[in-house]
Amino acid sequence: MTDQPDPLRIDFHLLDRQIVDAAGEPVGKVDDVELTLNPATGRLQVTALLSGQQVLGERIGGRLGGLLAGIARRLHPVEHPPPLRIDLTHVASIGSAVTLTVHRDALPTPPLERWLGDQFIGKIPGAGHAGQ
């Protein structure tokens, strides 16, 4: 990481920021952040960004969050889907957006995006072309 805030304020600098890939294309929002207790040092480390409606729903909590997570689960083909987890080592910089070192194609396509592409949008003529 070359460009980073000092100190890193997790709520201010990370949570709810847009994640963009190396080309600047949107990947998702930082819906939560993974913290890990390092067993060797006993210290708490920031290890990954988590993204997806289910993570967001769990973070919001309550009935509203439950609803959001529930919808995300229902739209998902797998029973207990893992959230999109982006290791912090893939983060290039933290600015007005969180920029990754990788291209979005290297990340799993969000299930809803893929499902809509296969079942709905992709079937409409012209879906594969940008505007004329």
CB-wise, 44 or 106, nearer to another protein?
44
Site string for another protein, 100-129 (x = CB under 8 A): ----------x-xxx-xx--xxx-x-xxxx
Got the DSSP string for 56-115? HHHHH-HHHHHHHHHHHHHT-SSSSPPPEEEEGGGEEEESSSEEESS-GGGSPPPHHHHH
Q: Is 2 in the site for another protein (CB under 8 A)?
A: no
With both helix axes pointing from N to C terminus, report the angle between 53-60 and 62-74 in degrees, rounded to the nearest 10: 160
Q: Is 58 in the site for another protein (CB under 8 A)?
A: yes
Dihedral (C-alpha) 75, 76, 81, 87: value to the nearest 10 degrees? Answer: -80
Q: Is 29 in the site for another protein (CB under 8 A)?
A: yes
CB-wise, 8 or 106, nearer to another protein?
8
Binding site for another protein (CB under 8 A): 1, 4-12, 14-19, 24-29, 31-37, 43-46, 50-51, 53, 56, 58-60, 64, 68, 88-89, 95-97, 110, 112-114, 116-117, 120-122, 124, 126-132
